[in-house]
Amino acid sequence: MSEILNPFHTVQKQIKDACQRLGLDDGVYEILKQPQQVMTVAVPVKMDDGSVRTFIGYRSLHTNVIGPGKGGIRFHPNVTLDEVMALSMWMTFKCGVVGIPYGGAKGGLAIQPREFSQGELERLSRGFIQALEPVIGPEKDIPAPDVYTNAQVMAWFMDEFSRLKGYYSPGVVTGKPVSIGGSVGRNEATARGCMYAIREAARDVGLPLAGARVAVQGFGNLGTHVCRLLTELGCVIVGVSDSQGGVADPDGLDVAALIRHKEEQGTVASFRPGDPIGSADVLELDCDILIPAALENVLTEQNAGRVKARIVAEGANGPTTIAADNILTANGVTVVPDILASAGGVVVSYFEWVQNFSQFYWTEDEVRERLEQIMVAAYRNIVRLQSQYDVTMRAAAYLVAVERLAEAMRLRGWVGR
């Protein structure tokens, strides 16, 4: 039987398994098995040379049973409709695991952002929000940064939406610059949440973090910050990679120098000292903790058996296929699932949204303290259900989220009791 690689089919199977294990009404799966709203748009953009090109984009809202949609917008050449739908569904469960009042959403434009000038990116960003304006809003669907988007893109999104509405609307997106309504601590939030989850998992498996060897695939926002945070706990970063290649050193890489090199050169592949490796080779390095923090389906049945880490913390969305997950579990690897390990960003996005509505802003210490409380409580709740049902941590995480969604559906009258 061929391995399931379509992320949309993967998440559908994860939902069905959770619904069956919980003995839920069939209507729960019928509602959750696909997004309730999907939009495909064509965005025309005037390029710097005067020509006009059209780019295809998507926005998927999975469910609003608990609250408005929440999820990032990515700019990546491999964006597809199935990917965006699957990611919106994963966002629902990510929000459910940490107990914040959002349903999942996700969006993307199928472009290679490195090929665009700053002016072209701004016009494209504004054009995309013009197309999405009917379906987004602070109480409907709230975008955020994702792969190859950042605070500047969010600022353009917010400004264009505000212009269309005729009033200042900072709550339409999160991940904005602090000076226009962003939250302190948001830039590192996904990585900090991942660090908290790794810390708890290491404690449970008896792995001291002082001296623990870490490998990271994906040296973007999450990868750079999680390396910095883990080194502060005493970990040693033995390998990192990005889309252009990687570098490894069993004695440990200089993280501060590595981050500077990435900022200057745009890749870690040419960093020295260290041994050059391929982007995927980092997944098989001799390490204690592996963090796949790039794209989905990087751990498969072909390479999962060669993973040497004791803990895999999924910083990316859907990096592990179902077959790979089974192999890792059989080999005794603790997999901290994506819907927990990468949830720190959406938690602090929620904080930002709350602050936008109240117009009262928190200190960085307050943001970090509240994030830690939510992440640790979510981790412990998952471990409790993992023991109760004798399942993997991933399965337990879905039980937490699906049970919460099903209860909301029952109370709202969407499904029977």
Q: Both 227 and 160 in a single domain?
A: no
Given phi > 0 = left and psi -120 to 50 = alpha, else beta, which region is 166? Answer: left
Task: Say if CB 22 and CB 406 are below 8 A apart.
Answer: yes
Task: Say if CB 236 and CB 263 are below 8 A apart.
Answer: no
Instruction: Give the Cα separation of 18 and 30 in Å (integer).
Output: 13
β-pairing verdict for 103-109 and 69-75: parallel
Strand order in the sheet with 52-61: 37-46, 52-61, 103-109, 69-75, 141-145
H/E element holding 361?
Answer: none
pLDDT at 6: 82
- Name the residue range of residue 241's domain: 189-336
Q: Say how many residues make up the chain.
A: 417
Q: Which percentage of the chain shows pLDDT scores above 90?
A: 94
Q: Is the residue at 385 inside a domain? A: no
The number of domains in the chain is 2
Instruction: Give the Cα separation of 142 and 95 in Å (integer).
Output: 13
Q: Both 156 and 196 in a single domain?
A: no
**H-helix segments, 99-169:** 118-132, 151-165
Q: Both 253 and 134 in a single domain?
A: no
Question: 139-172: per-residue pLDDT in tens?
Answer: 999 999 998 999 999 999 999 999 999 999 999 9
Strand order in the sheet with 311-313: 275-277, 245-248, 236-242, 213-217, 289-292, 311-313, 334-336
Q: Is the residue at 94 inside a domain? A: yes
CB atoms < 10 A from the CB of 168, how many?
A: 14
Q: Both 264 and 330 in a single domain?
A: yes
Lowest mean pLDDT across 15-19, 42-46, 279-283, 316-320: 316-320
Sign of CA dihedral 284, 285, 286, 288: negative
Instruction: Give the Cα separation of 90 and 92 in Å (integer).
Output: 5
Q: Is the residue at 206 inside a domain? A: yes
CB atoms < 10 A from the CB of 226, how many?
A: 31
Question: 189-205: per-residue pLDDT in tens?
Answer: 999 999 999 999 999 99
DSSP sequence for 52-95: EEEEEEEEEE---SSSSEEEEEEE-TT--HHHHHHHHHHHHHHH
Q: What is the mean pLDDT of residues 405-415?
A: 96
CB atoms < 10 A from the CB of 295, how many?
A: 19
Question: 84-140: per-residue pLDDT in tens?
Answer: 999 999 999 999 999 999 999 999 999 999 999 999 999 999 999 999 999 999 999
Question: 62-86: per-residue pLDDT in tens?
Answer: 999 999 999 999 999 999 999 999 9
Q: Both 250 and 314 in a single domain?
A: yes
pLDDT at 416: 77
106 a catalytic residue: yes
pLDDT at 74: 96
Q: Which structure tokens are listed for 25? A: 């009404």
Domain final residue pick, 319, 336, 353: 336
- Which CATH number is 107's domain given? 3.40.50.10860
Q: Both 47 and 128 in a single domain?
A: yes
pLDDT at 147: 86
- Which CATH number is 319's domain given? 3.40.50.720
Q: Both 99 and 226 in a single domain?
A: no
pLDDT at 4: 58
Q: Is the residue at 55 inside a domain? A: yes
pTM of the model: 0.93
Which residue type occupies 304? A
Q: Is the residue at 267 inside a domain? A: yes
Q: Is the residue at 382 inside a domain? A: no
Q: Is the residue at 56 inside a domain? A: yes
The alpha carbon torsion through 403, 405, 409, 412 (nearest 10 deg) reads 120
Q: Both 147 and 267 in a single domain?
A: no
pLDDT at 417: 65
Question: 361-376: per-residue pLDDT in tens?
Answer: 999 999 999 999 999 9
- Residue 312 DSSP label: E
Q: Both 130 and 75 in a single domain?
A: yes
Q: What is the mean pLDDT of residues 319-331?
A: 94
Q: Both 157 and 279 in a single domain?
A: no
- Residue 289 DSSP label: E
| Average of per-residue pLDDT values in the chain | 95
Q: What is the mean pLDDT of residues 274-292?
A: 97
Q: Is 171 exposed, middle or buried (0-12, 13-18, 19+ CB in 10 A)?
A: buried
Q: Is the residue at 11 inside a domain? A: no
CA distances from 274 to 251, 284, 300, 388, 406 (A): 9, 16, 27, 45, 50
Residue 280 half-sphere exposure, CB side, CA atoms within 13 Å? Answer: 10
Q: Based on C-alpha coordinates, what's the Rg of the chain? A: 20
The residue from 70, 94, 106, 262 that is catalytic is 106
Domain final residue pick, 336, 356, 382: 336
Task: Categorize the per-residue pLDDT at 1 as very low, low, confident or very high, splitting at 50, 70 and 90.
Answer: very low
Q: Which structure tokens are listed for 121? A: 């990116």
Question: 201-240: per-residue pLDDT in tens?
Answer: 999 999 999 999 999 999 998 999 999 999 999 999 999 9
